């Protein structure tokens, strides 16, 4: 496998473009991408190889399908790239939050936020995660059919709000947040089309009005969190009570002469953490439960592990289910739930929460024998890479047993990267891993989920990889 060099000073004319799809019809590739982006990227990657070139209108686009090239772009040469148009569009909702900001401001904010998601600190959130999941279990009824995606949005939004942002979010607010987020994601998708710039300039269009309503709802939730903390700003807070929002509220850099954040700055960071912190995990859990419903042998093996680790605990009077007292998982159980972790890992291989990354090239950049011109867009797709048969045998097969220690240690770093990676990788990744394992164990200990046979399952690749029509599941209470 060839290793790309650092950014080169050569001109674009010094090397031919890599192979890629061409069409005599104007914007055909762009239209194909808008209609079905995943199918289009899969076709390009496996037709043209490690690096492919095509046009979106006049825009040069390069699809990178090689883990070493991806690692160089995201880690070794990251300073030669800036965030692509998709994230720039997201600023309409996220402002200058951690996901969308650049340069020194981004680095300062990340320095403040990252410690809150350190694996050792994340452990203290475990009880909150299982408590909210257990409460949801108690609200479900045997034999009912639910949209599990909406349920996961509800529980993960409550968890991120309480654990990291120190605020309780009401159940109905969780539903409203999920609906508002979908409206915003669809709006951003429209803005990324060839006429997206024009759409955004016509306030009277229904799509713009719907976005403003959704944004207002999300702003209301976030500003309520900030107000709650402002009202208690001068109270003595113990180290255990110092959530991330409290830390942001008091953060300042006296050496750099930077004052404490305004409500607007706080809003951008809290909005980013709130949305990114529940949307991705909710999607990953939804796809996990769907895959388990389609693979009974895997589900049986998962349940066997959960039951062997958790069993019954007749000394625990806090959790009752069908007259049998049970123990919910704790942070101490996570290392024992090895197969549960493999199930979650394999689910995110097939349905990664972040399905593609985009960067824009600042200076001409050399990849192998090709020069990528300044201003070009570079795409790197987790969905595509995770299905590469070079690294994953039978890539379409849901097989948690593939994740042996040997495989994890030998596959290239960026053949599997469900949360992105590099200098700007997801700060909440340790939080998401623990949450996923604990919630799978909590739900699957008590409930078996059957996918409704007439319910259509289709991908909805927006900012994250959602199920297009939700995920209708019939609940069956487990009885030992």
pLDDT tens, position by position, 289-324: 999 999 999 999 999 999 999 985 444 444 444 434
Element at 60 (helix H, strand E): strand 59-64
pLDDT over 70 (residue 125)? yes
Residues 6+ apart with CB under 8 A from 152: 281, 282, 283, 285, 286
B/e letters for 61-70, b = 16+ CB within 10 Å, e = fewer, are bbbbbbbbbb
pLDDT exceeds cutoff 90 at 433: yes
Q: What are phi and psi of 7, to 5 degrees?
A: -55, 135
Cα 405 vs. chain centroid, distance in angstroms? Answer: 24
Distance CA 427, CA 311 (A): 34
Q: Considering only CA atoms, which of 199, 361, 369, 159 is closest in space to residue 280?
A: 159
User: How far is residue 189 from each of residues 7, 100, 195, 224, measured CA to CA in Å?
Assistant: 31, 16, 11, 28
Residues pairing with 449 in the sheet: 475
Instruction: State both tokens at 169.
Output: 């979010």
- For residue 41, the model assigns a pLDDT of 96
pLDDT for residue 317 = 42
Rounded CA-CA distance 455/464 in Å is 21
64 phi and psi angles, rounded to 5 deg: -100, 125
Q: 460 - beta bridge partners?
A: 466
Q: What pTM did the predictor assign?
A: 0.86
Residue 198 has pLDDT above 70, yes or no: no
| End-to-end Cα separation, the chain, in angstroms | 52
- The token duo for 319 is 């959790």
Q: How far apart are CA 446 and CA 476, in angstroms?
A: 9
pLDDT tens digit string along 16-36?
899 999 877 767 888 888 889
Cβ atoms of 436 and 334 within 8 Å: the answer is no
Judged by average pLDDT, the poorest of 55-64, 274-283, 378-387 is 274-283
How do residues 340-371 score in pLDDT, each as one tens digit?
999 999 999 999 988 999 899 999 999 999 99
pLDDT of 264-295, one tens digit each? 888 888 888 887 778 899 999 999 999 999 99
What is the SS3 assignment for 413? helix
Give, in order, the Cα–Cα distances in Å from 224 to each of 217, 230, 242.
11, 10, 18
Q: Which of 52-56, 98-102, 143-147, 261-265 has the lowest mean pLDDT?
A: 98-102
Structure tokens at 327: 């123990």
What mean pLDDT is predicted for residues 155-165?
Answer: 87
Indicate if the pLDDT at residue 137 is higher than 70.
Answer: yes
The predicted pLDDT at position 197 comes to 58
Q: In whole angstroms, give the CA distance from residue 361 to residue 380.
A: 13
> With 70 as the cut, is the pLDDT of residue 65 above it?
yes
Cα–Cα distance measured from residue 3 to residue 23, given in angstroms and rounded to the nearest whole number: 31
Share of the chain above pLDDT 90, in %: 49
Say what the pLDDT of residue 298 is: 98
Q: Is the dihedral of CA 164, 169, 171, 174 positive or negative?
A: negative
51-60, 91-100, 384-393: segment of lowest average pLDDT: 91-100
Q: Which of 279, 296, 476, 475 is nearest to 398 (CA)?
A: 296
C-beta neighbour count of 223 within 10 angstroms: 17
The pLDDT value recorded for residue 463 is: 81
pLDDT of 11 > 70? The answer is no
């Amino acid at each position: 496998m060839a290793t790309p060099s650092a950014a080169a000073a050569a001109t674009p004319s010094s090397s031919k473009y890599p192979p890629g799809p061409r069409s005599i019809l104007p914007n055909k590739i762009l239209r194909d991408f808008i209609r079905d982006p995943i199918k289009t990227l899969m076709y390009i990657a496996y037709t043209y190889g490690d690096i492919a070139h095509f046009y979106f209108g006049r825009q040069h686009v390069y699809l990178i399908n090689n883990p070493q090239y991806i690692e160089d772009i995201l880690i070794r040469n990251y300073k030669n790239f800036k965030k692509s148009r998709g994230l720039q569009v997201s600023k309409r909702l996220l402002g200058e939050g951690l996901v969308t900001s650049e340069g020194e401001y981004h680095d300062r904010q990340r320095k403040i936020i990252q410690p809150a998601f350190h694996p050792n600190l994340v452990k203290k959130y475990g009880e909150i995660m299982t408590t909210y999941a257990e409460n949801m279990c108690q609200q479900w009824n045997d034999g009912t059919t639910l949209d599990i995606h909406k349920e996961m949005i509800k529980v993960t939004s409550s968890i991120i709000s309480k654990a990291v942002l120190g605020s309780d979010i009401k159940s109905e607010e969780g539903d409203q947040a999920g609906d508002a987020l979908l409206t915003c994601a669809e709006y951003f998708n429209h803005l990324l089309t060839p006429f997206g710039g024009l759409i955004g300039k016509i306030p009277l269009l229904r799509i713009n009005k719907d976005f403003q309503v959704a944004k207002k709802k999300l702003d209301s939730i976030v500003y309520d969190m900030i107000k709650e903390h402002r009202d208690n700003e001068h109270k003595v807070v113990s180290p255990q009570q110092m959530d991330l929002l409290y830390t942001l509220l008091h953060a300042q850099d006296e050496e750099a002469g930077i004052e404490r954040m305004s409500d607007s700055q706080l809003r951008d960071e809290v909005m980013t953490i709130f949305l990114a912190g529940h949307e991705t995990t909710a999607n990953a859990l939804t796809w996990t439960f769907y895959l388990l419903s389609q693979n009974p042998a895997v589900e049986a093996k998962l349940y066997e592990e959960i039951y062997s680790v958790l069993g019954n605990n007749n000394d625990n009077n806090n959790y009752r289910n069908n007259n049998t007292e049970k123990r919910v998982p704790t942070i101490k159980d996570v290392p024992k739930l090895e197969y549960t972790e493999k199930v979650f890992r394999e689910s995110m291989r097939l349905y990664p929460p972040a399905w593609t990354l985009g960067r824009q090239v600042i200076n001409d950049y050399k990849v192998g024998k090709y020069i990528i011109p300044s201003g070009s867009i570079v795409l790197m797709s987790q969905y595509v890479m995770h299905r590469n048969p070079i690294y994953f045998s039978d890539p379409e097969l849901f097989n948690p047993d593939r994740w042996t220690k040997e495989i994890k240690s030998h596959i290239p770093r960026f053949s599997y990267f469900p949360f992105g990676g590099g200098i700007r990788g997801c700060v909440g990744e340790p939080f998401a891993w623990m949450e996923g394992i604990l919630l799978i164990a909590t739900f699957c200990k008590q409930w078996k989920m059957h996918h409704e046979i007439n319910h259509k399952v289709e991908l909805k690749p927006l900012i994250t990889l959602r199920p297009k029509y939700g995920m209708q599941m019939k609940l069956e209470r487990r009885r030992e």
